[in-house]
Amino acid sequence: IDQTVKDGFHHKNAMIAPMALTIFMWIFLMNTMDLVPVDWIPQLAALISGDPHFFFKVVPTTDPNVTLGMGFTIFGLMVYFTIAKKGFMGFVKELTLHPFHHPKWYVNILLVPINFALEAISWVSKPISLGLRLFGNMYAGEFVFILLAAMMGTWQFIGAWPWAVFHILVITLQAFIFMVLTIVYLSMAVEDH
């Protein structure tokens, strides 16, 4: 993780590597809950609640509220890092004078709405895509795993074993991708043009 941070974040900040490790471990542990047998945790939740029809989602990353919450937290960090590095007016200039800029001020006034629309879409799409990517991949993986478990019957162990191994790799890969994209987005936030 330290090498990934050194490769992806080209500025000095003591917070990035520990934050990247925390993000990786947090998502990895949430995803790992998918390896607990499908019925155990929901049955335990139903037993504790006393309601046999109690709905309980085992894997937190299969809920878009959780993943989008993490994505928008990264968005908040991106805004914070940009303002900390460039100042508030630097942040406003980045939103209004980028990507189109003209030496004459009166032309820039006409370009501000276009630049702001493009930059707003660019900024908001990053946390949404970050959250929805993790949600979609984990939800699809859990759904397919449940379908395989339901269809296999007595051959469940033999047929589901390769999928379980693949799923363990996906769990790790999704945590790593979220961490790397966080590093890249924060690096882009502090880049000077």
Q: What's the CA gap between 61 and 41, in Å, rounded?
A: 15
Residue type, 161: W
List 65, 122, 125, 129, catalytic entry:
129
Helices (H), the chain: 2-8, 16-32, 40-49, 64-96, 105-152, 156-190
List 31, 115, 137, 187, catalytic entry:
137
Query: Annotated catalytic, 125?
Result: no
- Contacting residues for 111 by C-beta, under 8 A, at least 6 apart: 97, 100, 101, 102
Query: Annotated catalytic, 65?
Result: no
If DSSP codes are grouped into helix, strand and coil, which group holds residue 73?
helix
Query: Annotated catalytic, 133?
Result: yes
List active site positions.
129, 133, 137
